[in-house]
Amino acid sequence: MEKEIHIFWTRIEQEAIDQFNNVMRLENVVKWALMPDAHTGYVLPIWGVVAVKGAIYPAFIWYDIWCWVLAMKTDYILSDFKSDKREKIFNSIYRSIPCWEGRFRDKPLIEPDQIMSFDHTWVAEEAMIKWINQIWTLGWWNHFIEIAYDEDKAVWIVVHSWSRWVWHRIASVYMKVAKEKQNIDTGKFEKEFENIEEFKSLKKLDLEKYEEIKWNYIDKKLKEFTKWSNEWTYWLDADSEDWKNYILDMNFWLEFALLNRFEMLKLVARDLDYYLKWTTEIKDYINRNHNHAELRDWLWIHRKWATHAELWMLWVIPGNMRDWSFIVRWKWNPDSLFSSSHGGWRAMSRNKAKETVSMDEFEKSMKWITAKVTHQTLDESPMAYKNIFKVMELQSDLVDVIHHLKPIINIKW
């Protein structure tokens, strides 16, 4: 079967190419696009986009579902942020919004009923009850809150966050369900065999021989399937009960992630207003995600850390703690499967960054930015990431840059 493939990146490591080839061999995967800076991920290359017919692969979306970047332009300007105010705002945001992997609020800021009104299954409800204290918390690693200014000196709030550990639970359950279904469901191969003309008469003449050949055929097909499938390339058939449940819970956690990010935006605005003596109106904010599946033209588009793109959309492509983020608009390029890169990935592992980047180098790189510049955040230093400007050059056929955002304050654990 001829498949449509579009690659917007030239320097791809062999492991990512192998992942790409393995996924393309799957029968229901019909289109592929690799965004700039695509590289090895879990199951599917990160910055990969695939179009699947009649199924969803939970592992193609993985655990970080509904990870979004939000940005909102405020009425403040750069000159409002004097050095003494920056430090106070920085500390206040850290107090307002818990960070790091294990951080919870002492008590939930909402009741479960406030979000349980959206349709969901027992899987989502169980996760919500357990993890509700993580609402209005940031997370860790590459997730961040930033106060930045654009080319006109206007100040923006930027928030990069996800649905925290609740989605880890959901993803784990449905990846396991998909694997179990594929392991035991041989009905597809049985139907294929029954439609082979040369064996139809054998069924009447020698049923025992027919069954023997049939199961040899099924066994061969299963081996072919697993040869090209690593541990998690299992799908949920469209319109199956498990598929419907996955869609329900995926959209349920969309609402959770939206609520979490919106409430953090309000908390940051509150802290700015307290120290700058103004009132920020929450309006016209940009909010786009980069880990999800959506139905388009009868195909399920899976985006693995790639951002959904439409002509009418604006979205944020973040840089690092020091370098610019970009407010962009999509150029009409359907070859990208209506997607763009989410940013620049790591240039080195966290351990390597801590071994090779010096604190002196880190401190100098962050000289004019108020941020947590310590050994703890060394693995998030600008030197640990790829050059975002080169990544943006590579996707000049995909996006137009509307604004450049330069950090003033960075909140990261």
Q: Tell me the domains of the chain and their CATH numbers.
A: 64-108+136-163+259-288+306-411 (3.90.1860.10)
24 is in an annotated binding site: no
**Out of 89-98, 128-137, 330-339, 360-369, which region has the weakest mean confidence (pLDDT)?**
128-137
- Greatest Cα-to-Cα distance within the chain, rounded to the nearest angstrom: 91
Please state, rounded to an integer, the average pLDDT across all residues of the chain: 86
* Of 234, 275, 248, 289, the residue nearest 64 (C-alpha): 289
Alpha-carbon gap, residue 7 to 185, rounded angstroms: 34
Q: What is the mean pLDDT of residues 262-280?
A: 94
325 is in an annotated binding site: yes
What pTM was estimated for this model as a whole?
0.84
Residue 308 annotated to the active site: no
271 is in an annotated binding site: no
Q: What percent of the chain has pLDDT over 70?
A: 86
Q: What percent of the chain has pLDDT over 90?
A: 48
319 is in an annotated binding site: yes
143 is in an annotated binding site: yes
pLDDT of residue 208: 67
Alpha-carbon gap, residue 165 to 155, rounded angstroms: 31
Q: What is the mean pLDDT of residues 42-50?
A: 90
Alpha-carbon gap, residue 413 to 380, rounded angstroms: 9
Of residues 192 and 154, more confidently modeled: 154
Residue 159 has pLDDT above 70, yes or no: yes
b (16+ CB within 10 A) / e for 185-196: ebeebeeebeee
56 contacts 302 by C-beta, under 8 angstroms: yes
Of 342, 375, 403, 404, the active-site residue reads 342
Residue 411 has pLDDT above 80, yes or no: yes
Tell me the CA distances in angstroms from 360 to 142, 281, 365, one per residue in order.
21, 39, 9
48 is in an annotated binding site: no
Alpha-carbon gap, residue 29 to 38, rounded angstroms: 18
Which of 59-63, 77-81, 259-263 is predicted most confidently? 77-81
120 is in an annotated binding site: no
**Out of 45-49, 220-224, 232-236, 299-303, which region has the weakest mean confidence (pLDDT)?**
220-224
Q: What is the mean pLDDT of residues 335-345?
A: 92
The length of the chain, given as a count of residues: 413
142 is in an annotated binding site: yes
pLDDT of residue 122: 67
Pairing label, strands 306-308, 299-304: unpaired
pLDDT of residue 230: 52
Q: What is the mean pLDDT of residues 17-21?
A: 88
21 is in an annotated binding site: no
pLDDT of residue 228: 46
264 is in an annotated binding site: no
3-state secondary structure the chain: CCCEEEECCCCCCHHHHHHHHHHHCCCCEEEEEEEEEEECCCCCCEEEEEEECCEECHHHHCCCCCCEEEEEEEEEEHHHCCHHHHHHHHHHHHHHCCCCCCCCCCCCCCCCHHHHCCCCCHHHHHHHHHHHHHCCCCCCCCCEEEEEECCCCEEEEEEEECCHHHHHHHHHHHHHHHHHHHHHCCHHHHHHHHCCHHHHHHHHHCHHHHHHHHHHHHHHHHHHHHHCCCCCCCCEECCCHHHHHHHHHHHHHHHHHHHHHHHHHHHHHHHHHHHHCCCCCCCCCEEEECEEEEEECCEEEEEECEEECCCCCEEEECCCCCCCEEEEEECCCHHHCCEEECCCCECCCHHHHHHHCCHHHHHHHCCCCECCCCHHHHHHCHHHECCHHHHHHHCCCCEEEEEEEEEEEEECC
160 is in an annotated binding site: yes
Residue 102 has pLDDT above 50, yes or no: no
The pLDDT-based confidence of 177 (bands split at 50, 70, 90) is: confident
